C-alpha cells in the first residue's frame, strides 16, 4: 500500500519555527463525533449481524454509534426494482429523527452481506462523494460474531463511514479529514485477507478508491488524486467479477468525477481530461436504468452538460453547446419543478446561459427568446421576495439579451423592455444595499442611454 507514502513525507509541526506553527495551527476538533445509525440487517435477525457490526464500531474514534432495531418496514436493498428512492427517503427520515450523520443499511444475500452508507439527502442537488448507490459487499460469515470480526474489514467499513457524512462548516470538515487520514493509514497497514473471494475483493477495492477519492476531493494535490483513480482503474481490469450493473455504473462515474476534479487542478492535457471525464460519465449512463436511478442519472447529465460548456470555451465548437443543451433538456425532464424546484431552477439558468451564447453566435432572435423563457422559468422559483439579489441578477441577464437584440434589429419595444429590466434590477439592488449590483446595472442603463439616446 505505497499509495500513502506522501503522509510520511510531511514536515512535523514541532520542527517548524514558532511563527509558522501559529500560522498553520488548526483548532482542536477532537470533541466532534459523527453520529452513526446501524440498522439491523434485512434477513439478519438470526445472527444479529447489524448489532455485531455496531458493537465493533462503538470504540472507533470520532463515531457515536447507535444500534437501531426498532420495528420498521425496511426497504428492499436488492437494487432490482424501482426502490432507490425508497431507500433514500426512509434513510432520510431516520437521519432526521435521530439527528444522525450516517445510516448504515445491510442485507444478507446468498453468502454475502451488502452495506449501504447514507448521509443527508439534499434535494437541491448537492452531493457527497459516497451515495446510496455505492455498496460494499463482504462475506456474511464475517458478521456472525463480535469477537471474530476481521480487523482489516472493519477498518475499510470505518473508512467508508467517515467518508460518508456531508459536512459544510469548517470544523466538521476538518474533523472528517482527520478521521479519513487516520482510517487510510490503518487500511494501508492492513494485510490482505486471503479468505475474501474475488468478487468481494473487487467491491472492497472499489470502496477503497472511493474512500481515498473522498479524502483528496477537497485538496489540490493531483498526485494524491491519481492514486484513487489508479485504484478504480484496477477494478475496471477485473470488471468481469462485477455482476451488478449499478456497481459498474458507479465505478465509471467515480473515474469520470476524478477526471473532472483534475480539470480544476491542472492546465496540462486539458482536452484529454475533458474527453475522459465525459467518456466515463457516458459509460456510467449506459449501465444506469434512468427509471430506477433517475436522480443520479439526471445529475450526471448536468455534469456532462457543464463539462461540454467548459470544453466549448476551449474549443469554440458550437456543436459542444448544442450537445450541452441537449443534456440539460434531458435532465429537465427528470427533475420536475414541483419535486426538485431548486435543481429545476438551476437547470433553467444554465439552459438560459447556453441558449444566450448560441443565440448570440447564430444571431438568432428565436434562440435568444428561448434563453429569456428559461430565465423567466428560473425566476418562477428564485422569486424576488425569496431571492431578491438572484432575481435581480437574472433580470439583468434578460435585459442584456434584449439589449443585444435591440442593437441588431433596432426594435424600440426591445429597447424599452431592456430598460425596464435594468430598472427593476436596479431597484432591488438599491433596496438590498448591493453596491456591486447597483454599479453593474447603472453601467447597463448607461449603455442603453448612450446607444439609443433614450
Which pLDDT tens digit goes with each residue over 331-345?
Answer: 999 998 888 999 999
Q: How many residues does the chain have?
A: 454
**What residues pair up with 103 in beta bridges, in sequence order?**
37, 118
Mean pLDDT score of the chain, rounded to an integer?
Answer: 84
Q: Would the pLDDT of 121 be above 80?
A: no
Rounded Cα distance, 40 and 147, in Å: 18
How much is the pLDDT for 303?
A: 94
SS (H, E, C) 364-394: CHHHHHHHHHHHHHHHHHCCCCCCHHHHHHH
- Give this prediction's pTM: 0.84
> Among 168-177, 213-222, 343-352, 366-375, where is mean pLDDT lowest?
213-222
Rounded Cα distance, 299 and 304, in Å: 9
| Helix residue ranges per DSSP H, 266-387 | 270-287, 294-315, 318-334, 341-362, 365-381
DSSP 288: -
What architecture is the 26-183 domain classified under in CATH? 3-Layer(aba) Sandwich (3.40)
The H or E element containing residue 64 is strand 63-68
- Provide the residue ranges of all domains of the chain, joining segments of one domain with +: 26-183
Task: Name the phi and psi angles at 386, rounded to 5.
Answer: -95, -35
Mean pLDDT of 125-137: 78
How much is the pLDDT for 11?
A: 35
Q: Would the pLDDT of 79 be above 70?
A: no
**pLDDT band with cut points at 50, 70 and 90 for residue 382:** very high
Burial class (CB in 10 A: 0-12, 13-18, 19+), 268: exposed
Percentage above 70 pLDDT, the chain: 85
How much is the pLDDT for 7?
A: 35
How much is the pLDDT for 358?
A: 96
Rounded Cα distance, 326 and 26, in Å: 46
Inter-residue contact 287 to 254 (CB < 8 Å): no
Amino acid at each position: 500500500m505505497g499509495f500513502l507514502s506522501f503522509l510520511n513525507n510531511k514536515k512535523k509541526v514541532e520542527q517548524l519555527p514558532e511563527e509558522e506553527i501559529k500560522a498553520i495551527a488548526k483548532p482542536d476538533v477532537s470533541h466532534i463525533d459523527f453520529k452513526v445509525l446501524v440498522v439491523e440487517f434485512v434477513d439478519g435477525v438470526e445472527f444479529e449481524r447489524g448489532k455485531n457490526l455496531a458493537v465493533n464500531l462503538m470504540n472507533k474514534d470520532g463515531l457515536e454509534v447507535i444500534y437501531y432495531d426498532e420495528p420498521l418496514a425496511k426497504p428492499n436493498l436488492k437494487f432490482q426494482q424501482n426502490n432507490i428512492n425508497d431507500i433514500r427517503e426512509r434513510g432520510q427520515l431516520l437521519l432526521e429523527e435521530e439527528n444522525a450523520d450516517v445510516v448504515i443499511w445491510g442485507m444478507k444475500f446468498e453468502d454475502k452481506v451488502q452495506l449501504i452508507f447514507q448521509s443527508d439527502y439534499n434535494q437541491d442537488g448537492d452531493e457527497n462523494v459516497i451515495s446510496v448507490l455505492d455498496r460494499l459487499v463482504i462475506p456474511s460469515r464475517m458478521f456472525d460474531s463480535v469477537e471474530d470480526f476481521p480487523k482489516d474489514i472493519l477498518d475499510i467499513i470505518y473508512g467508508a463511514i467517515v467518508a460518508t457524512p456531508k459536512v459544510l462548516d469548517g470544523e466538521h470538515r476538518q474533523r472528517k479529514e482527520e478521521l479519513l487520514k487516520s482510517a487510510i493509514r490503518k487500511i494501508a497497514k492492513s494485510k490482505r485477507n486471503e479468505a475474501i473471494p474475488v468478487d468481494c475483493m473487487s467491491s472492497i477495492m472499489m470502496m477503497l478508491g472511493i474512500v481515498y477519492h473522498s479524502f483528496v476531493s477537497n485538496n489540490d494535490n493531483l498526485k494524491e488524486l491519481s492514486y484513487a483513480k489508479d485504484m478504480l482503474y484496477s477494478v475496471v481490469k477485473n470488471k468481469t467479477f462485477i455482476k451488478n450493473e449499478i456497481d459498474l455504473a458507479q465505478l465509471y462515474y467515480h473515474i469520470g468525477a476524478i477526471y473532472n476534479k483534475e480539470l480544476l487542478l491542472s492546465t496540462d492535457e486539458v482536452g484529454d481530461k475533458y474527453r475522459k471525464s465525459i467518456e466515463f460519465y457516458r459509460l456510467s449512463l449506459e449501465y444506469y436504468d434512468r427509471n430506477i436511478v433517475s436522480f443520479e442519472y439526471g445529475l450526471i447529465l448536468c455534469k456532462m452538460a457543464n463539462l461540454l460548456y467548459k470544453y466549448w470555451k476551449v474549443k469554440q465548437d458550437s456543436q459542444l453547446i448544442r450537445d450541452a443543451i441537449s443534456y440539460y433538456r434531458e435532465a429537465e425532464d427528470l427533475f420536475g419543478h414541483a419535486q426538485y424546484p431548486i435543481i429545476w431552477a438551476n437547470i433553467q439558468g444554465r439552459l438560459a446561459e447556453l441558449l444566450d451564447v448560441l443565440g448570440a453566435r447564430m444571431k438568432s432572435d428565436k434562440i435568444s427568446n428561448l434563453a429569456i423563457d428559461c430565465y423567466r422559468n428560473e425566476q418562477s422559483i428564485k422569486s424576488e421576495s425569496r431571492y431578491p439579489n438572484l432575481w435581480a441578477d437574472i433580470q439583468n441577464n434578460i435585459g442584456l439579451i434584449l439589449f443585444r437584440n435591440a442593437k441588431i434589429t433596432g426594435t424600440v419595444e426591445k429597447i424599452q423592455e431592456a430598460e425596464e429590466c435594468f430598472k427593476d434590477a436596479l431597484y432591488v439592488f438599491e433596496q438590498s444595499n448591493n453596491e456591486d449590483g447597483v454599479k453593474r446595472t447603472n453601467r447597463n442603463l448607461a449603455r442603453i442611454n448612450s446607444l439609443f439616446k433614450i
